[in-house]
Structure 1
Amino acid sequence: MTRDDSRTFTRRRLLGLLGSAGVASLAGCGGRDTTPTATPEKPGPFKQTSDSPDENPRMRDGIGFDRVVNAVDDLSWDPSGEEAIDDSLDQTLREGTLIEVPPGTYRVKRRHDVEGVSRWGIVGIGTNRRAVQFTPPTGRSFRWLMVDGGSDILIKNFTMQQGRKFDRSIGMGFLVDDGLKLYNVEKAGSNPRENSGSGAENGIVVQVTKPDGVAVVDTFVRKGPQDFAHYPGNAITVFTGRGHLGTVYYRNLHIENGGEHGIYASKGQGNVRVEGGLFKNNLGDGVRIAGEGSWVKGATVVIDMDDRTPGNRGNWHQARGIHLQSGEYGYTGGLVEDCTVIAHASPRTEALLKIEHSQGAATVRNCRFFNNTDYRTIVVDKPATGPQQPKKPWEVTFENIEISGRASNTVAMLLEDRPGSKISNVTIDLPSVGVDGIVLNNCEGTVIDNMNVVTGGYPLRVSSNSDGEQCLVTLKNLRRLKSSLLSDADTEQLASSLSGSTCLDGNDTAKQTFAVIGANDDRLYGTVLDEQ
């Protein structure tokens, strides 16, 4: 996938879109007409569907039910929240039954296990998801729905309400065979920590247990204050774990201020596909995936400690943007595409995009990074050598990448021990002091095609432990390499011509580092730093 010049984001254009804080007016992410804002009324384009009731009055969202019951009229649920609905739930959650819930607040007091049941659902029939609310009692935390098996399940248009006092927590878990449809659901209110009086619960857990099964989560929202604890003292917001074998789509989520990650979904054996959505100020990762068949497309991730959710407790101490990591599984493959990652201010950030040592090959394309911090923008770790060593291939591909901002004393792109990688159409505009552009350590055979880099430090640094004469990096179609602050008075000519393809080889500079200051007059200038 390529991008023509008409879609290129210049630094001026990106700054104009971003403003000084927040993403309220950001556009162009993922090719959608509208983009999630910092506080969207709806975080994505979720729309109610019409199911032609004249043809089948019991058809909802493509699922045919045997019976449709009204929670108040037919089941006598109390919409005032005084009387619990648990006994009725136990009796009604059976094959072929859809429960339609009128507006109101409904009290649930315990977990409900639904095992091996297909074609059932719970749907709020209010005009928006806040019209129907399910709430637990004070001092309790549990998954009010815990589903094991079954297919064709519809969960839609309601809110799980926790209140304002950090004294309760509620979530749901779905370990399904196939056909889960979870639409327009919110986990609202204040979120306690694990070691609180009530404990804490995940927002949603979704795993598809059949390899050809599919689950779709479209518009799940979690905001509200958080009592932050040190890792792992909070509940994961959206979780897909080791038992996942099929495919789950997470579309148009708005996960903000999460105590432990926005989406943690990197160690299942199936596919995790994140499409659209806003992930803001989550402790840990905004989004974490890994492996072939998984992707993050069109998402916006924001890290801004100066624009936090009011009412928080505890210490928000770390944030990352997008993270590829698979632990002991050592997956290779995966895609990050059409994403925007913004870091205005952070207490600590490993990277806006981090490809960890347990992750093999990956592709990142058509993405924009805006970095105002002293932390690195893109980091690709050296592959692990122990139990977490990823499967080959290990090379990474970056296409159509734009990095800008007021970052200082850091690195724009760092790749370590990833030979044969490909970097094309990269624009870096980080002119502040001490910022290096592209840094390649032991990445022999890497090709950089079409680069435009302005930094306050070295626009390009290349080092290798190899004693061979191979190309450490090949430069093609160089547009610009320039340091805004370093002088070229003591530099030497590293290459005599930049037309076509230029190889920087390690013939006489093994175990040393090329540091490029700039390029002009069809020549590359820089220096060879001390031996490593």
Structure 2
Amino acid sequence: MTHDERDGRRSYSRRRLLGALGSVSVASLAGCGGTEISSSTPETVDEPDPTTGTPPAGGGSGRTRRGITFDRVVNAVDDLGWDPNGEAAIDESLDEDLQSGTLIEVPPGNYLVRRRHDVESLSRWGIVGTGASRRGVQFTLPAGRSFRWLMAHGGHDILIENFTMQQGRKFDRSIGMAFVIDRNLQVYNVEKAGSNPRQDSKSGAANGLIVDVTDPDGVAVVDTFVRKGPQDFAHYPGNAITVFTGRPHLGTVYYRNLHIENGGEHGMYASKCPGNVRVEGGLFKNNYGDGVRIAGEGSYVKGATVVIDENDRTPGNRGTWYGARGIHFQSGEYGYTGGLVEDCTVIARTSPGTEALLMMEHSQGAATVRNCRFYNDTPYRTILVDRPATNHTRPAKPWDMTFENIEISGSARNTAAFVMAGRSGSRLSNVRIDLPGENVDGIVLEDCAGTLITGANVLTGGYPLRVSGAAGGKGNCLATLEDLERLESSLLDDVDARRLASILSGATCIDGETANAFGVVRAADGHLYGNVLEGE
């Protein structure tokens, strides 16, 4: 890590505190985030819809872009003298010409930036590439350096669009951007390209993109941010997080259509912020740590694809890739509850280590997962829901989980499809599991009394259903089965299995009065057959 980045971290930490404590007072100054507005030029605050994050109609001509009206639009080369050949640095111009009300349009070319630029409480500004693609405009930095070339503190109505931050092929530099702003940040079609060094390299490493919205009613939109170059992998936490939203975030950020691949420390880390993080679509592939990490009510992952495949790695990598998780809910000492995963696909082909394709950690309370598909060919668990913590990371109640319309398939061996502990009163509806490989259990519940399993269709090589724990009194159930379709083991011999319960037309209660652990082998002839595993 360079001195530039270390100094930047100190400034960022200080700004976090100032942003959290001072956003209300700053915003009260003429309602403009501390920006002085000329009396002859009325301020335009034209934000995305606060519910959907969709930019308002307003055209892209004249001085209005994506709903933001600027006072002036300037050409970076013709008006500001930027060198498109990348020989003369543009830093002096950024200091002088990046002003409130200014949109800088950048023609195709390579532009050299030598240092970090702190943009303080500036509103209605933007930098937009005019090339036919984001590769048309490339911002580069000198070898041996790593920094956030744009570091915005405060302000609103900011537009960043259509360019590439280019790091080259030598693992000797790293560039990124950070926005800790009041509201209405819009980022479109931006890439962090090239090879990514590790933190302890001569250059250090910079995050790709940081977004924090400090106004609780504020919205930011990031649509199409790409990072997929080679990585010099270090042991955790020796690399830079690609996309990060942290503790200062109080508003709502929409991350749409991201392509984050081969990240050295998570694809997206956004789970310890009070605000909402909403991930829509996108591909997250082979990121060390988590593909996507969020937590809490108001946050979700919808329509995303997460891939873990050791045999399909990015060419040119260095170091050792230790493995990955898919989607992860975790909030540490904040103990958030709530959140949604919907219409997602998670694929794990091969990996040196994977805790789970979907993991709900002990610091996460209740959550909902629905209409999702999981393909697992590894010896690691597909879905893992931890028991709620008992220490300072204990999540807020409720703790029950809802899983609806879940499909799990693949050629996994020596693992379990669905493991959940300490989540009483949960609901599993239309869970279909097809993992007939050796020693694979299906639904495994521990201390989840009162959980309702509806419409299950489970084929595994081990026990399709395992239930254990204390029922909590006479008449209570370790689990209740309703509208059962199938419970079947492809490999377990059921000759010695005993009848555990009758399958009625309504619901079947697996109680803990005679034992506290059962393994179901099959459902047939109106009965459940299996083994008492413990406590008889």
TM-score by length of 2: 0.89
Tell me the residue number matched to 2:42.
none
Q: 1:480 aligns with which of 480, 486, 490?
A: 486
Contact 1:173 1:205 in 2 (8 A): yes
Cα deviation, residue 495, structure 1: 1.2
Q: 1:318 aligns with which of 316, 323, 327?
A: 323
Once residues 203 and 427 of structure 1 are traced to their aligned partners in structure 2, the CA distance between those partners, rounded to angstroms, is: 38
Once residues 140 and 421 of structure 2 are traced to their aligned partners in structure 1, the CA distance between those partners, rounded to angstroms, is: 49
Structure 2, gaps ≥5 residues long: 1-53
Is 1:352 matched with 2:380?
no
Paired residue type of 2:526? D
Tell me the residue number matched to 1:502.
508
Cα deviation, residue 50, structure 1: 8.9
- Helix, strand or coil for the counterpart of 2:87? coil
Once residues 485 and 466 of structure 1 are traced to their aligned partners in structure 2, the CA distance between those partners, rounded to angstroms, is: 29
Tell me the residue number matched to 1:31.
none
Once residues 371 and 531 of structure 1 are traced to their aligned partners in structure 2, the CA distance between those partners, rounded to angstroms, is: 33
Query: For each residue in 1:222-278, what CA deviation from the matched residue of structure 2 results, as whole angstroms up to 9, or x when unmatched?
Result: 011000000110000000001100000000000000000000000000000000000
The correspondence of residues 286-301 of structure 1 with structure 2, limited to 5 A, is: 286-301=291-306
Tell me the residue number matched to 1:73.
78
Is 1:471 matched with 2:477?
yes
Contact 1:498 1:522 in 2 (8 A): yes
Tell me the residue number matched to 1:527.
531
Once residues 467 and 384 of structure 1 are traced to their aligned partners in structure 2, the CA distance between those partners, rounded to angstroms, is: 20
The correspondence of residues 112-191 of structure 1 with structure 2, limited to 5 A, is: 112-191=117-196
Q: 1:334 aligns with which of 331, 339, 350?
A: 339
Query: For each residue in 1:451-509, what CA deviation from the matched residue of structure 2 results, as whole angstroms up to 9, or x when unmatched?
Result: 00000000000000346221110100000000000011111111123422110111121
Cα deviation, residue 52, structure 1: 4.1
Tell me the residue number matched to 1:30.
none
Query: For each residue in 1:306-327, what CA deviation from the matched residue of structure 2 results, as whole angstroms up to 9, or x when unmatched?
Result: 0000000000002000000000
Contact 1:371 1:404 in 2 (8 A): yes
Tell me the residue number matched to 1:438.
443
Is 1:256 matched with 2:261?
yes
- Helix, strand or coil for the counterpart of 2:293? strand
Contact 1:467 1:507 in 2 (8 A): no
Distance 1:447 1:118, change over 3 A: same
Tell me the residue number matched to 1:86.
91
- Helix, strand or coil for the counterpart of 1:87? helix
Tell me the residue number matched to 2:466.
461
Contact 2:518 2:534 in 1 (8 A): no
Cα deviation, residue 49, structure 1: 11
Identity %: 72
Tell me the residue number matched to 2:398.
393
TM-score by length of 1: 0.89
Tell me the residue number matched to 2:518.
514
Tell me the residue number matched to 1:240.
245
Is 1:230 matched with 2:235?
yes
Paired residue type of 1:80? N
Structure 1, gaps ≥5 residues long: 1-46
Paired residue type of 1:199? G
Contact 1:373 1:406 in 2 (8 A): yes
Distance 1:49 1:213, change over 3 A: closer
Once residues 83 and 504 of structure 2 are traced to their aligned partners in structure 1, the CA distance between those partners, rounded to angstroms, is: 76
Contact 1:149 1:175 in 2 (8 A): yes
Tell me the residue number matched to 1:7.
none
Once residues 480 and 535 of structure 2 are traced to their aligned partners in structure 1, the CA distance between those partners, rounded to angstroms, is: 22
> Relative to structure 2, which stretch is displaced further, 492-501 or 89-98?
492-501
Once residues 70 and 461 of structure 1 are traced to their aligned partners in structure 2, the CA distance between those partners, rounded to angstroms, is: 66
Once residues 48 and 73 of structure 1 are traced to their aligned partners in structure 2, the CA distance between those partners, rounded to angstroms, is: 29
Cα deviation, residue 531, structure 1: 3.5
- Helix, strand or coil for the counterpart of 2:333? helix
The correspondence of residues 345-424 of structure 1 with structure 2, limited to 5 A, is: 345-424=350-429
Contact 2:449 2:472 in 1 (8 A): no
Query: For each residue in 1:340-377, what CA deviation from the matched residue of structure 2 results, as whole angstroms up to 9, or x when unmatched?
Result: 00000001000000000000000000000000000000
Distance 1:159 1:49, change over 3 A: farther
Q: 1:303 aligns with which of 297, 305, 308?
A: 308
Once residues 335 and 275 of structure 1 are traced to their aligned partners in structure 2, the CA distance between those partners, rounded to angstroms, is: 12
Tell me the residue number matched to 2:224.
219
Distance 1:148 1:339, change over 3 A: same
| Corresponding residue pairs, total | 482
Tell me the residue number matched to 1:204.
209
Tell me the residue number matched to 1:60.
65
Once residues 476 and 527 of structure 1 are traced to their aligned partners in structure 2, the CA distance between those partners, rounded to angstroms, is: 20
Cα deviation, residue 87, structure 1: 0.1
Query: For each residue in 1:396-449, what CA deviation from the matched residue of structure 2 results, as whole angstroms up to 9, or x when unmatched?
Result: 000000000000110000000000000000100000000000000000000000
- Helix, strand or coil for the counterpart of 1:260? coil
Cα deviation, residue 48, structure 1: 12
Query: For each residue in 1:147-184, what CA deviation from the matched residue of structure 2 results, as whole angstroms up to 9, or x when unmatched?
Result: 00000000000000000000000000000100000000
Query: For each residue in 1:130-149, what CA deviation from the matched residue of structure 2 results, as whole angstroms up to 9, or x when unmatched?
Result: 00000110000000000000
